[in-house]
């Protein structure tokens, strides 16, 4: 028996177009790679060109369809400009992944309006504006997948969550509102919820072996997350076989959240 046709029917992203913010590093990069290897044309949005080029070179060298846009999601105009530039690469996206974030964590007493504003703009407003830009078109075409990357800090305080945790909690609420609006038209909206994943985002914490080991112990699997752990969940959520899953927060955390 050849399982390939059945697997393709469930999971292939052939012919789809995906936009992945923060797709040049860490979890976003792993998701962008997974979607591209599953057949989607993928456009990656972030600021640093060298990281973008390295990501896209890796994918195109494997025969994937991939492009990049250098854009700053730290202002509403920046988000709008990045959205238009991204849509110009392979056309309007069928799949939108919001993985870009900022992770600023001053003590609560010192959390100023600047940190609050930056955090909310990149972590919450950008996903909202990109949803407003692309969600209605997906609904009109009868297929869409919006995937936000949130955090365990949407559910619990953790090492001075501050504005970051608030932005992630609101992002999960946004996913439910988007799901309510567009699911009747074939557009699902869900969030992937990481625990602790060794990426450049948390370089400082990752460099403390004792803390890293203590965090690994809090999982059920017995290790911290890797960016690659998100590949399968992202392909599934981006494809047709997850059509009946919407408005959900899916923890990819080795059991961290339930231990």
Ligand X SMILES: NC(=O)c1ccc[n+]([C@@H]2O[C@H](COP(=O)([O-])OP(=O)(O)OC[C@H]3O[C@@H](n4cnc5c(N)ncnc54)[C@H](OP(=O)(O)O)[C@@H]3O)[C@@H](O)[C@H]2O)c1
Residues assigned a catalytic role: 164
Residue 169 sits in the site that holds ligand X (CB under 6 A): no
- Whole-angstrom Cα distance, residue 166 to residue 172? 10
Residue 48 sits in the site that holds ligand X (CB under 6 A): yes
Sign of CA dihedral 205, 206, 210, 213: positive
Name the minimum Å distance from CB 30 to ligand X: 8
Stretch that binds ligand X, among 106-114, 197-205, 210-218, 243-251 (CB under 6 A): 197-205
Q: Which of 18, 197, 215, 233 binds ligand X (CB under 6 A)?
A: 197
DSSP strand pairing (187-194 vs 41-46): unpaired
Q: Which of 201, 216, 226, 250 binds ligand X (CB under 6 A)?
A: 201
Name the minimum Å distance from CB 51 to ligand X: 5
> Taking Cα atoms as reference points, which of 45, 42, 215 lies closest to residue 145?
42
Residue 74 sits in the site that holds ligand X (CB under 6 A): yes
Sign of CA dihedral 32, 122, 134, 246: positive
Name the minimum Å distance from CB 28 to ligand X: 5
Nearer to ligand X, 81 or 245 (CB): 81
Residue 227 main-chain phi, psi, to 5 deg: -55, -40
Greatest pairwise CA separation for the chain in angstroms: 63
Q: Which of 20, 56, 73, 237 binds ligand X (CB under 6 A)?
A: 73
Which tokens belong to 156? Answer: 């619990």
**What is the pattern of x (binds ligand X, CB under 6 A) and - over residues 99-118?**
xxxx----------------
- Whole-angstrom Cα distance, residue 175 to residue 131? 10
Nearest position to ligand X, beta carbon: 26
Q: What share of the chain is helix, strand, coil (3-state, %, to 5)?
A: 55, 15, 30
Size of the site for ligand X (CB under 6 A): 27
User: What is the binding site for ligand X (CB under 6 A)?
Assistant: 22, 24-28, 46-48, 51, 72-74, 99-102, 122, 149, 151, 194, 196-197, 199-202
């Amino acid at each position: 028996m050849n399982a390939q046709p059945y697997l393709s029917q469930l999971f292939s992203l052939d012919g789809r177009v995906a936009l992945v913010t923060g797709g040049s590093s860490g979890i976003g990069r792993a998701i962008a790679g997974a979607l591209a290897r599953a057949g989607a044309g993928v456009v990656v949005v972030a600021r640093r060109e060298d990281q973008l080029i390295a990501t896209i070179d890796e994918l195109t060298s494997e025969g994937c369809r991939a492009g990049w846009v250098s854009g700053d999601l730290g202002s509403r105009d920046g988000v709008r400009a990045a959205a238009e530039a991204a849509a110009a690469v392979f056309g309007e996206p069928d799949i939108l992944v919001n993985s870009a974030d900022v992770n600023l964590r001053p003590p609560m007493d010192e959390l100023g309006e600047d940190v609050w504003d930056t955090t909310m703009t990149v972590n919450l407003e950008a996903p909202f504006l990109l949803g407003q830009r692309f969600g209605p078109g997906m609904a009109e075409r009868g297929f869409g997948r919006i995937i936000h990357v949130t955090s365990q800090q949407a559910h619990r305080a953790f090492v001075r969550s501050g504005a970051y945790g608030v932005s992630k909690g609101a992002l999960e609420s946004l996913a439910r509102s988007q799901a309510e609006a567009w699911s009747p038209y074939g557009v699902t909206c869900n969030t992937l919820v990481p625990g602790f994943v060794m990426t450049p985002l948390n370089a400082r914490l990752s460099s403390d072996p004792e803390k890293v080991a203590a965090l690994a112990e809090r999982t059920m699997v017995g290790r911290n997350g890797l960016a690659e752990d998100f590949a399968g969940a992202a392909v599934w959520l981006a494809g047709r076989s997850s059509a009946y899953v919407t408005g959900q927060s899916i923890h990819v955390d080795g059991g961290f959240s339930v231990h």
